[in-house]
Amino acid sequence: MPARGNRGLCEGDCAALHIGIQCSARRHGASGMTDPIIIVGAGAAGIGAALECRERGLPYVVLEASGRVGGRAYTAAAGLPEAWDHGCHWLHCADENPLVAWADRLGARYRNHEGEHAFQVWEDGAFLDDAGIRDYDRAVTRAFDAVEASGADVPIPDVLPDAGRWAPSVNLIFTLMAGDDAGDVSASGYADYRDTGHNWPVLSGYGRLISAMAEGLNIRTGVAVRGVAQRGDGATVATDQGDLEGAGVIVTASTSVIARGAIRFSPGPAADLAAALDRVPCGVYEKVAFAMDALPGELAQSQFLSIQQGGHDLATNFQIVPGSNPVMLCHMGGKDAHALVMAGPEAMTDYARGALITAFGTQIADRITATATTSWTNDPLFLGSYSHARPGSAQFRRDMIDADTGRVAFAGEAFSPSWQATAHGAYASGRHVAARMAAQTLS
């Protein structure tokens, strides 16, 4: 891993960050560029951009406000016996996902098949039999088919067929997949996602994979970017440790962080786009992790459990992570999750534990040996999970991806045309924008 910690300031009037590239003399690289491309954020998009720059022989530096790399791909124990993925976990669209090759190269472990009974559903007192699972699956499939076929830039529920008894589960699935309440998400924007149906969990940790990809890159952690001022042939980046001149800037912070004004932009096309990013905000998606001394027998070979209780608008979803120290992860999203997050970790844990007790009885609580929760919603460096287009904003999202904002550009999962809300979409966006900026700066 690259050295971590803060770097000192260069001496002289420029007060630029010492990044291993001479600031005052502005040493020329092999490409002929005089200043580095400055990449803001060391998540998947920032790492993708840095890899593209390195492969092209371009000077670059990645500035990361936190003390770690990976962004929303984060693997840590956080009080459990073993590390778990707090954010990204799945190699989505794995048959096309460019990070699968990285996983193979770096020795990451992932599962590329599903078990025979991968999904279990509990409904009002009993687990569904095979016929019930098929009926449930048909309802979910009809819902996704309707969204993908509609093309309407309206709230997702407006285009859904009546799911009958499965409405709470269908609502939950869209809430989790979109990262926010389905009613706040554009059906057309959601349908832009190209799903190949191949989704593989990273057993050794997605955050660890992204961190391994960053080894050897020029990354400076603990450096918070406060502002970006564009000039004709580049830009000046203001940080909490001084200013830095760049040939171009690629901002990979989340849309919610940018829209909230955490980074100031000088007047121009980049500032105009940043001010409109509340149209593609990050939603609410959190996890409650339960370390178990043993899994319930009903969940043998299962990867997921949906608990649907009568009278509830949303079902409750658990991912089952088997092993010597098994874990059950409760996935929650939307306004209900937001209320629990605001109430605190204890409220989140009580809700998830209560759902398990509903399905398995009070004895299930005795099997829980440790708990942990996420809080992406409250983290000022993220302010949510992943992005979605609000109703009426699907075309805006498409347009913002192609927008020419000069020497200050944006990358990330929100800027992926068909892989939004994924780590590999962020990575591909970072590489694409870095290649585009390289062409601009060298022209």
pLDDT tens, residue by residue, 78-96: 999 999 999 999 999 999 9
Residues of the chain above pLDDT 90, percent: 83
What's the pLDDT band for 440 if we cut at 50, 70, 90? Answer: confident
**Confidence (pLDDT) at 28:** 41
337 lies in a domain? yes
Q: Are the C-beta atoms of 203 and 89 separated by less than 8 Å?
A: no
Residues 298 and 362 in one domain: yes
Does residue 410 have a pLDDT over 50? yes
Lowest-pLDDT range, 25-29, 245-249, 315-319?
Answer: 25-29
User: With the CA atoms of 135, 138, 144 and 146 taken in that order, what torsion angle do they form, in degrees rounded to the nearest 10?
Assistant: -110
What's the pLDDT band for 33 if we cut at 50, 70, 90? Answer: low
For the chain, how many structural domains are there in total?
Answer: 3
Residue 325 CB-density burial (10 A; 0-12 exposed, 13-18 middle, 19+ buried): middle
* Per-residue CA distances from 115 to 135, 137, 226, 419 (Å): 19, 16, 48, 26
Crossing angle of helices 334-343 and 345-360, in 10° steps, is: 120
**Confidence (pLDDT) at 87:** 97
pLDDT tens, residue by residue, 223-239: 999 999 998 889 999 99
Residue 129's CB is within 10 A of a number of other CB atoms, namely 10
Q: Which residues sit opposite 219 in a β-bridge?
A: 62
6 lies in a domain? no
**H helix runs in 315-370, sequence order:** 334-343, 345-360
**3-class SS of residue 100:** helix
Q: What is the CATH number of the domain that holds 331?
A: 3.90.660.10
**Confidence (pLDDT) at 3:** 31
Among 344, 373, 402, the domain boundary falls at 373
28 lies in a domain? no
Residues 219 and 360 in one domain: no
24 lies in a domain? no
**Confidence (pLDDT) at 443:** 67
Among 147, 178, 206, the domain boundary falls at 206
Residues 126 and 185 in one domain: yes
Residues 268 and 310 in one domain: no
Residue 366 CB-density burial (10 A; 0-12 exposed, 13-18 middle, 19+ buried): exposed
271 lies in a domain? yes
**Confidence (pLDDT) at 413:** 98
Residues with Cβ within 8 Å of 344's Cβ and at least 6 positions away in sequence, in order, are none
Residues 175 and 230 in one domain: no
Edge-to-edge, what's the strand order for the sheet holding 37-40? 219-221, 60-64, 37-40, 248-251, 408-410
Residues 277 and 132 in one domain: no
Does residue 217 have a pLDDT over 80? yes
Residues 242 and 339 in one domain: no
Among 165, 183, 206, the domain boundary falls at 206
Q: What is the CATH number of the domain that holds 414?
A: 3.50.50.60
- Residue 237 has phi, psi (to 5 degrees) of -110, 125
pLDDT tens, residue by residue, 343-387: 999 999 999 999 999 999 999 999 999 999 999 999 999 999 999
399 lies in a domain? yes
Residues 417 and 289 in one domain: no
Domain extent, residue 290, equals 119-197+285-373
Residues with Cβ within 8 Å of 28's Cβ and at least 6 positions away in sequence, in order, are 34
- CA-angle at 63, arms to 62 and 67, nearest 5°: 115
Q: Buried b vs exposed e over 143-180: b needs ≥16 C-beta within 10 Å? A: bbeebbebebbbbbbebbeebeebbbbbbbbbbbbbbb
What is the CB-side half-sphere exposure of residue 117 using CA atoms within 13 A?
15
Q: Which residues sit opposite 328 in a β-bridge?
A: 290, 320
Q: Which residues sit opposite 68 in a β-bridge?
A: none
Residues 222 and 275 in one domain: yes
Residues 277 and 341 in one domain: no
Residues of the chain above pLDDT 70, percent: 91
pLDDT tens, residue by residue, 155-206: 999 999 999 999 999 999 999 998 899 999 999 999 999 999 999 999 999 9
294 φ/ψ sector (left φ>0, alpha ψ -120 to 50, else beta): beta
Higher pLDDT, 59 or 301: 59
